[in-house]
Amino acid sequence: MSQDICVVVPTIREYDCVRAYVENAREHGFDVSRLYFLLVTEDFCETDAMRSMLAEEGVAGEVYDGTRRVEWYDKQDIPEYGHVVPAGSHAETSFGLLYMWANPQFEYGVFIDDDTLPHEGTDFFGTHLANLGFEGRIRSVASDEQWVNVLYQGADDHGLYPRGYPYSAMDETVETDTAEVDGGEIVASQGLWTNVPDLDAVRILMDGDLQGQAQTRTTAADFGEDFVAARGNYLTVCSMNLAFRREVIPAFYQLPMDDNEWDVGRFDDIWSGVFLKRACDVLGKRIYNGQPLCEHNKAPRSTFDDLHNEVAGLELNEHVWRLIDDAGAGAGDYVGVYRAMADALLGADAEAYRNGEFFHFVGEHMHDWLDALAALERVPAAADD
């Protein structure tokens, strides 16, 4: 079988995690010839060692640092769109989406953070692909706040809310039901995480940790039945362990963070998940949550550094979902819904929020994202050197 799965790994240090995921695939009989590993890194990193690792593991792939990304934009004849992927930011995962769009053999994408490992005994890639192909009955979760805490199943014990969950939506009343899912309806599979939970800096400080990790940890026992968020409900989508269908790329731009005049950061995957969920609700699609779990081994770092990177956007995060909550109704494709959401942000009253002009910045970049994808469709993909 040809390479139809692009595995995007943003990394500047722990790139050896790729070995564990390749080993997991082989242990479970997953066809590794389907996998293409795209490592997105920086010029100061060990790019030669990364390429050697891929060769040693016998898997296809490439390494793109900042210089090579610029060269790639030139080869694709889209240098004017290089700004849609911010430098030195986790949102560089968007380069992987552009790469997939330029190479139509990739039917699926997988995002993996370099501080994660697959769980032993779990077929990581096989489970994600099975989730994307799921059809049948599955638990559906909703709340009276229109938000689903993806950690809700153990919340009575640990009380955790993940990074990006609005503070105004806490203390929600959870409601569960059953949804009937048709084939092709699942367009994204979010695997959850054990060990270090994915929390924002405020919640980590409340948990009493100054090293960015939180003292409360999650285990496999905290996760029960897999689920989807009900229509009209939002959820946090973390890109550390995520698979998706190619079709969602127009509405799955990892938002430009960190490299902006407002210093807004740390919400790139969160806001992209909000926008994807709105598109799914309009188009009759769903996001699957639960297995396969990964082990999150976040390296110690200053909680106050994370707080500095998050605080400029905390208020905006409380409101962004409300601004797009009715956008794109009646649209027939992802591009139409996404364009409507971009227009909703451009139409936001910037003076009503601290750093409100960032909404306009994001809306402009969302339009540029769609234009970049359209340009790639008009230009034949250039071969790598």
Average model confidence (pLDDT) across the chain: 96
Residue 37: both structure tokens together: 């590993």
Q: Which of 321, 306, 363 is nearest to 340 (CA)?
A: 363
Give the CA distances from residue 205 to residues 158, 170, 194, 305, 312, in Å, rounded to whole numbers and listed in that order. 15, 17, 19, 12, 17
Interval 288-314 mean pLDDT:
95
Question: Domain boundaries in the chain?
Answer: 5-378
pLDDT band at 385 (very low <50, low <70, confident <90, very high): very low
Q: Which tens digit of pLDDT belongs to each residue from 57-73?
A: 999 999 999 999 999 99
Q: Which tens digit of pLDDT belongs to each residue from 266-276?
A: 999 999 999 99
8 A C-beta contact, residue 38 and residue 6: yes
Residue 191: both structure tokens together: 């695997």
pLDDT beyond 60 at 339: yes
Residue 313 zone, left/alpha/beta (φ > 0; ψ -120 to 50; rest): alpha
Q: Which tens digit of pLDDT belongs to each residue from 341-371?
A: 999 999 999 999 999 999 999 999 999 999 9
Q: What is the pLDDT of residue 384?
A: 52
pLDDT beyond 50 at 17: yes
Burial of 111 per CB tally in 10 Å (0-12, 13-18, 19+): buried
Q: What is the pLDDT of residue 1?
A: 59
Residue 32: both structure tokens together: 């590794």
Q: Which of 280, 285, 313, 277 is nearest to 200 (CA)?
A: 313
pLDDT band at 259 (very low <50, low <70, confident <90, very high): confident
Helix (H, G, I), strand (E, B) or coil at 229: strand
Q: Which of 279, 272, 271, 274 is nearest to 330 (CA)?
A: 279
Interval 156-170 mean pLDDT:
96
This prediction's pTM: 0.96
Q: What is the pLDDT of residue 87?
A: 86
Q: What is the pLDDT of residue 48?
A: 97
Give the CA distances from residue 85 to residues 21, 63, 73, 96, 217, in Å, rounded to whole numbers and listed in that order. 26, 16, 11, 10, 32
8 A C-beta contact, residue 215 and residue 172: no
Distance CA 22, CA 302 (A): 32
DSSP string, 286-306: EEEEEEEEEEE-PPP--HHHH
Q: Which of 142, 147, 176, 144 is nearest to 164 (CA)?
A: 147
Distance CA 57, CA 142 (A): 43
Q: What is the pLDDT of residue 208?
A: 85
Distance CA 99, CA 334 (A): 18
pLDDT band at 298 (very low <50, low <70, confident <90, very high): very high
pLDDT beyond 90 at 317: yes
Q: Which of 59, 47, 56 is nearest to 15 (CA)?
A: 47
Interval 163-173 mean pLDDT:
97
Q: Which tens digit of pLDDT belongs to each residue from 105-121?
A: 999 999 999 999 999 89
Interval 127-143 mean pLDDT:
98
pLDDT beyond 80 at 293: yes
pLDDT band at 2 (very low <50, low <70, confident <90, very high): confident
pLDDT band at 258 (very low <50, low <70, confident <90, very high): confident
pLDDT beyond 60 at 383: no
Is the four-CA dihedral 87, 88, 91, 97 of positive or negative sign? positive
Task: Spell out the residues 6+ positions from residue 237 whose beta carbon is closer than 8 angstroms to its own.
Answer: 188, 190, 269, 270, 272, 273, 274, 276, 277, 287
Q: What is the pLDDT of residue 39?
A: 98
Interval 216-238 mean pLDDT:
97
pLDDT band at 382 (very low <50, low <70, confident <90, very high): low
Q: Which tens digit of pLDDT belongs to each residue from 188-197?
A: 999 999 999 9
pLDDT beyond 80 at 380: no
3-state secondary structure 53-83: HHHHHCCEEEEECHHHHHHHHHHCCCHHHHH
